[in-house]
Amino acid sequence: QGADAIFTTHPYDDQRGLMSDSGTPGDLLLPWRTTASLLGGAKFVGSIQLPHGSKNRLFQRPNAEMLMVVWSDHRTREIIYLGDKVSIVDVWGRTRIPRRSGSRQMVDVDRLPVFVRGLNPHVARLRMSVKFDELHIPSVFGKPHSNQIQFHNEFPQGVGGTLSIKAPDGWQISPDRIDLKMAADDHIRKQFEVSLPFDANSGLVPIRIDFDVVADKSYKFSVYRELDVGDGQLEIDIHTRLEKDGDLIVEQRMTNRSDRLVDFKCLLYALGSPATSESPGVPQRRRQRTQVFRLGNTPDVKSYRYPNGAELLGTQMWLRAEEIDGSRVLNYRFDVER
């Protein structure tokens, strides 16, 4: 989780050193200096989940300042409340104040890390403490499923306010608002129920928890988590490809990790796309169906074939797998690719 010290083994090296063989500054000298000046003596704290999934590490500096190093494999913009006096330092040591969207900072993230200074440490630590008791929601629709959310009051005083759990459209969360009253250092659990619509996607689903609380002042911030629709025992992998004859092949690979053999009826819908001013659209195709018998640990592979498959590229399909003599239903929406 951390290192006592970081060394450069070849400081004078044209290829990977901080200085060239001749002793002139190299491209890595400024990034090294910036990193060393900001993280020297800092203690690793953890990481938070950001709205677009950017990777990050949080550190507490010797002066108690909370700092975040953040980067991403693809260019994105994270919009999130981090504190009231936030600044951004790039690897070259240049400092700027991020633009805002209301009370939230707008942090542009790319493969090159940036250092975000001035995080509110109490909000950051509370974010890290939030978790659901149950990460899996059974894929049984029209029935409430109980769960609990828990977290720790990281403010040095009592806190009051509310939280709201925001899920995808069609989900029902009850209650829609949870009242909070916490003493300093309190750890609490709050119960809630989730009801899924019949077409809820299976797999990991993003969830946002909105806090509106008062401590030394008013704070509004969001915490980002995921819930997994399904019991974790059934897996479906879907791949699409365009054959040389122009047919689109949709391959479905299904695996059952439990000890009980199960049967499924599978329905595949080619949803097409609506017409626009720039495109005539793609008509919806007739649904296809197949059946999976006595599914166990050995993967079951089924294929669906659509003629004139090129016109389906870029559209969305919906696979619905209904358990026979059971209550589980799996929904997967996916984009058609080559």
Residues of the chain with CATH 2.60.40.10: 125-229, 234-335
What confidence tens digit (pLDDT) does each residue in 51-68 have?
999 999 999 999 999 999
What percentage of the chain exceeds 70 in pLDDT? 96
| Burial bucket for residue 92 (CB in 10 Å: 0-12, 13-18, 19+) | exposed
Dist. CA 273–CA 282, nearest whole Å = 5
Angle subtended at Cα 182 by Cα 178 and Cα 188, rounded to the nearest 5 degrees: 70
Phi first, then psi: what are they for 86, rounded to 5°?
-95, 140
What is the dihedral angle through the alpha carbons of 12, 17, 18, 23, rounded to the nearest 10 degrees? 30
Res 103: pLDDT: 95
Dist. CA 147–CA 134, nearest whole Å = 6
Res 92: pLDDT: 95
The dotted CATH code for 234-335 is 2.60.40.10
Q: What is the pLDDT of the chain when averaged over all its residues? A: 93
With cut-offs at 50, 70 and 90, classify the pLDDT of residue 127.
very high
Please indicate whether residue 272 or residue 222 has the higher confidence score (pLDDT).
222
Dist. CA 210–CA 123, nearest whole Å = 12
What confidence tens digit (pLDDT) does each residue in 190-224 have?
999 999 999 999 999 999 999 999 999 999 999 99
- From the CB of residue 330, how many other CB atoms can be counted at a distance below 10 Å? 22
CATH class of 125-229: mainly beta
Amino acid present at 245: D
Res 277: pLDDT: 60
Q: CATH topology for 29-119?
A: Immunoglobulin-like (2.60.40)
pTM attached to this predicted model = 0.88
pLDDT score of 10 more than 80: no
